[in-house]
Amino acid sequence: MDTPNQILMCSPKYYGIEYEINPWMNTERQADHQLAIRQWQSLKQIFEELGVQILELEPVAGLPDLVFTANAAMIHKQTAVVSSFRHVQRQGEEEHNEQWLLRHGFQLKYPPDDQYFEGAGDALFCGDTLFAGYRMRSDAAGLQDIGRMFGCRVIPLELVDTSYYHLDTCFCPLKAGQTIFYPAAFDSYGRKVLRELVDDLIEVDSEEARHFSCNAVVLGETVVTNEGCPKMCRQLKRRGYRVVETPLSEFVKAGGSAKCLTLRLDGEDAASWSAETEG
């Protein structure tokens, strides 16, 4: 019997726009808390109906962004590289992420002491290559150290638009050799490298990028994403994917969407090592 996919989520019980650390956040434009809870519950229900096992991180008062579990760590098999957050407002999350991962049997590793690294928000496998975003949140210097931990090739990608401050806001691997991306979020070198290394690059435009079209969750042939991305959805359907759209407007106000709200504990579908583990 196949082991179900596992996703870590955190209830938005204490979620809100309490500070401004990216261009989306505005403390005068608050999230509707009750609507955020309903949107999160709907997302969770979609995953459960797809057969995903949801594990939950306990929410903590004063840590509103703990809901964005993608930033907790980068997972590789049973090892987790625990995040070291750039902004002091999020550094309180680190001990809660660390303790949860320890309790659930992960071997913990850490980025170099003087380097910031924000987990699966900035480190995504496509095949056997780890694509890693840097500049806004994670530091370039520590990325190769993470590659050496796992014996994998790392391709650093400089992010140049502050609205797309984590790699997972502008880059979504679907499977080996195929990914969604927003070209303007990368410098010219990054765009060149992606076009050389990824066979099927599905480009999104600025309007759909602002609906966080790239911040999607891939579960086999199903892609779960925020609503408002019809052109991307058409491209995915032409390639045989089923697309499930769900409104996540209240999380977009903080600069996040479906992928930000999840951490795959069993490995993203596009990671070659994940498929090897299943086999």
Q: What is the 3-state secondary structure (H, E, C) of 22-84?
A: CCCCCCCCCCCHHHHHHHHHHHHHHHHHCCCEEEEECCCCCCHHHHCHHHCEEEECCEEEECE
Q: What is the pLDDT of residue 4?
A: 85
Q: Is residue 160 part of a domain?
A: yes
Q: Establish if 235 belongs to a structural domain.
A: yes
Q: Is residue 144 part of a domain?
A: yes
At residue 1, the pLDDT reads 38
DSSP readout, 107-133?
A: EEE---TT--B-GGGTEEEEBTEEEEE
Tens of each residue's pLDDT in the chain, 279 residues: 367 899 999 999 999 999 999 999 999 999 999 999 999 999 999 999 999 999 999 999 999 999 999 999 999 999 999 999 999 999 999 999 999 999 999 999 999 888 999 999 999 999 999 999 999 999 999 899 999 999 999 999 999 999 999 999 999 999 999 999 999 999 999 999 999 999 999 999 999 999 999 999 999 999 999 999 999 999 999 999 999 999 999 999 999 999 999 999 998 888 887 756 554
**pLDDT of 279:** 45
- The number of folded domains in the chain is 1
pLDDT recorded at residue 269: 86
Instruction: Tell me whether residue 86 is in a domain.
Output: yes
CA 101 to chain centre: 17
Residue numbers annotated as active site: 166, 260
Q: Is residue 1 part of a domain?
A: no
Dist. CA 106–CA 196, nearest whole Å: 34
CATH number (domain holding residue 269): 3.75.10.10
Judge contact between 153 and 109, C-beta under 8 A: no
pLDDT at position 272 is 81
